[in-house]
Amino acid sequence: MTEQNRVLLIVSGGIAACKCPELIRLLKRRGFEVRCILTRGGARFITPMTLAALSGDKVYEDLFSLTDESEMGHIRLTRQAGLVLVAPATANIMARMANGIADDLATTALLAAKVPIMAAPAMNVAMWEHPATRDNIETLKRRGVRLVGPTEGEMACGEWGMGRMAEPPDIAEAVEDLLLGGGGKMSAMKKLKGRRALVTSGPTLEAIDPVRYIANRSSGKQGHAIAAAIAGQGADTTLVSGPTRQPDPERVKVVHVETAVEMLAACERELPVDIAVCAAAVSDWRAAKPSAQKIKKTGKKSTASLALIENPDILGSLCAAGERRPRLVVGFAAETEKVIENAAAKRKAKGCDWIVANDVSKGSGVSGVMGADTNTVHLITSDGAESWPEMTKTEVGLKLALRIADALEFET
- Nearer to ligand C5P by C-beta: 230 or 260? 260
- Nearer to ligand C5P by C-beta: 128 or 332? 332
Treating both helix axes as pointing N-terminal to C-terminal, what angle do 20-29 and 48-55 enclose, rounded to 10 degrees?
10
Q: Tell me how far, at minimum, the Cβ of 320 lies from ligand C5P, in Å.
A: 12
Q: Tell me how far, at minimum, the Cβ of 277 lies from ligand C5P, in Å.
A: 8
Q: Give the C-alpha distances (Å, rounded to integers) separating 379 from 37, 229, 341, 344, 385.
A: 35, 17, 12, 10, 6
Q: Which residues, 264 to 323, sit near ligand C5P by CB under 6 A?
A: 278-280, 282, 311, 313-315
- Residue from the set 14, 116, 203, 331 that interacts with ligand C5P by CB under 6 A: 331
Site string for ligand C5P, 181-210 (x = CB under 6 A): -------------------x----------
DSSP one-letter code for 274: S
Q: Tell me how far, at minimum, the Cβ of 380 lies from ligand C5P, in Å.
A: 12
Is 61 within 8 Å of 262 (Cβ atoms)? no
Is 354 a residue that touches ligand C5P (CB under 6 A)?
Answer: no
DSSP class per residue in 28-85: HHTT-EEEEEE-TTGGGTS-HHHHHHHHTSPEE--TT-HHHHHHS-HHHHHHT-SEEE
Q: Which of 18, 20, 36, 157 is catalytic?
A: 157
DSSP class per residue in 133-155: HHHHHHHHHHTT-EE---EEEE-
- Nearer to ligand C5P by C-beta: 53 or 309? 309
- Nearer to ligand C5P by C-beta: 60 or 354? 354
In whole angstroms, what is the distance from residue 288 CA to residue 158 CA?
63
The three-state DSSP-derived secondary structure of 311-359 is: CCCHHHHHHCCHHHCCCEEEEEEEECCCHHHHHHHHHHHHCCCEEEEEE
- Residue from the set 175, 333, 370, 372 that interacts with ligand C5P by CB under 6 A: 333
Helix, strand, or coil (residue 163): strand
Q: Tell me how far, at minimum, the Cβ of 345 lies from ligand C5P, in Å.
A: 11
Q: Tell me how far, at minimum, the Cβ of 30 lies from ligand C5P, in Å.
A: 24
Query: Residues binding ligand C5P: what is the number (CB under 6 A)?
Result: 13
- Nearer to ligand C5P by C-beta: 137 or 228? 228
**Whether 157 is catalytic:** yes
What would you report as the CA-atom Rg of the chain, rounded to the nearest whole angstrom? 25
Going along 230-306, which residue ranges are E strands?
Answer: 236-241, 252-256, 275-278, 285-287
- Nearer to ligand C5P by C-beta: 42 or 203? 203
Residue in 157, 54, 43 with CA at minimum distance from that of residue 105: 43
Residues annotated catalytic, as ranges: 157
Interacting residues with ligand C5P (CB under 6 A): 200, 260, 278-280, 282, 311, 313-315, 331-333
